[in-house]
Structure 1
Amino acid sequence: MARRARQIFVRNAIAAFGGISAVLQFVGQLFPQSFPDPAPVTAASVAACVLWGIGRARPVTRVRQEFRRPDMTVVVEEGDLFEQAAHLVIGFTDTFDTVPESGLVISEASVQGQLLARRYDGDLPRLDAELDAALGAVTPVAREDRSRKPLGKVDRYPIGTVAVLGTRPRLTFAAAYSRIGNDYVAASSVEDLWFSLNRLWDTVSRYARPEAVAMPLVGSGLSRLDYLDQDSLLRLILMSFIARSREGAVCRELRVVVRPADLERVNMPEVAAFLRTLASGVDRA
């Protein structure tokens, strides 16, 4: 049993036992003559508490919440991002680097590395050509000297830039939410991520409003947002999407796809409660 599951089991089993004990004591005081032998009652209570704790500790792998005004659905689920029947959001750095370069610039295991392998079949020239076309109307804010950044691309684009790649029904929204240093270390901040998400929703609204969009838990990889845990990052993404949706529909469904390795670090029951609270607040507004 995973650590979080053990904690949930123990917490709920103890709480259930305390509740049952209080009820039994109350009933025993009211009906002292007819109260049954405590031994089997205690055994049954312990068994019930264990079963309750096990049931509550079962891992939740999918949370779904419907919203009104506008009508939309938010899903948080464990899975493989690239198996989603939806448009995808992929995080990039401000240089929109694509070359793995033995993992120094772009890790082949990263979501961006998987984009090249699985949506472009490793065809780097095609990916770069689509990026160049999508960024053609965007003016770089700086250009690095090749001697200072020997690997990768040198044009830097504004944080929040979104390049729309591919064709329907499988668009890819390449969103720059982090800066890559000349040491090839990517860095971002809460402010950069929040700003980038707002720009992302604007673009998604223009291209995919009636459709579903899937995205990973951006910021949990190599973008150096280490001071936010997965739960905090997820809530930031959800709040950004719902806040922007109150201004106008962004898309029919947003799916945040959590890697199986990260699921233990996301409290899915609390995510479900958080989404219910947001939905009730939106519906009352």
Structure 2
Amino acid sequence: MISSNTTFEADVSGGKIAVDSLQGQFTAKYYTGNQNKLINDIENNLNELSLSSPYPMGTTIPINTHGRTFYFTSMASIGENGNASATLPDIEMALDGLWSYVREKGELQELVVPVLGTGRGRLKVKRKKMIAIIAESFINASRDGKFTEKLIITIRPEDADNFEINLYEIKDHLNHVLK
């Protein structure tokens, strides 16, 4: 899952999307020197929807490249100053939209979800709490039927260090919450 915004802005080279954001890193890795191809891929997928920009939180589109499917999901709004921001309800809608899309159109493949909103989304929720929110949302959505073989929640290594995230504590917390 690649977190995006409600306009699906993808201009990294023009500075609209930060190079070190998840979307910026994705663009550098999979669309090196060819950002316009990514923009076209996004536009082609959005044209298949009967919606217009700004898209609702949770709008999800597939980007197929390098033999993999990446789900771009809107989870933040872009303000007048060009900065993204998200609220907890935005994140919950984004997750619901992602789960629904993958249930309808996915192929039960492994699903990787980053810790959403705690960086560029400017959400004031601790990363440990956001991991629990993602896991609980996944468990609730799974009650309606299986849509992935495996969920992986990723956290940037520097975030684990900078925010003193103890993965063993998170594992214990999730084991307790998800029983």
Shift in Å at residue 199 of structure 1? 0.8
Q: 1:133 aligns with which of 44, 52, 56?
A: 44
Shift in Å at residue 209 of structure 1? 4.3
Q: 2:127 aligns with which of 230, 255, 266?
A: 230
Judged with a 3 Å threshold, the aligned counterparts in structure 2 of structure 1 residues 209 and 279 are, in CA distance, closer, same or farther, namely: farther
RMSD of equivalent CA atoms: 1.8
Which has the higher Rg, Structure 1 or Structure 2? 1
Take 2:8 and 2:18, find their aligned partners in 1: how far apart are those partners? 13
Moved over 4 A (4+): none
Q: What secondary structure is seen at the aligned counterpart in 1 of 2:71? A: strand
Is this contact kept in 2: 1:138–1:157, CA < 8 A?
A: no
Q: What amino acid is aligned across from residue 126 of structure 1 in structure 2?
A: K
Question: TM-score, normalised to structure 1's length?
Answer: 0.58
Shift in Å at residue 121 of structure 1? 2.0
Equivalent residue for 1:147? none
1:1-285 mapped onto 2 (5 Å cutoff)? 89-103=1-15, 105-141=16-52, 155-166=53-64, 169-225=67-123, 227-264=124-161, 265=163, 266-280=165-179
Is this contact kept in 2: 1:161–1:175, CA < 8 A?
A: yes
Higher relative contact order (CA 8 A, sep 6+): 1
How many residue pairs match? The answer is: 177
Q: What amino acid is aligned across from residue 248 of structure 1 in structure 2?
A: G
Is this contact kept in 2: 1:213–1:254, CA < 8 A?
A: yes
Q: CA deviation digits over 1:175-230, x for unaligned, max 9?
A: 001100121011111011101101101112233342211122111211110x2011
Is this contact kept in 2: 1:91–1:112, CA < 8 A?
A: yes
Q: What amino acid is aligned across from residue 18 of structure 2 in structure 1?
A: S
In the alignment, structure 1 segments of 5+ residues that lack a partner are: 1-88, 142-154, 281-285
Question: TM-score, normalised to structure 2's length?
Answer: 0.90
Q: Which of the pair is proportionally richer in helix?
A: 1
Shift in Å at residue 161 of structure 1? 0.6
Is this contact kept in 1: 2:73–2:94, CA < 8 A?
A: yes
Take 2:154 and 2:137, find their aligned partners in 1: how far apart are those partners? 16
Percent identical residues: 27
Is this contact kept in 2: 1:90–1:174, CA < 8 A?
A: yes
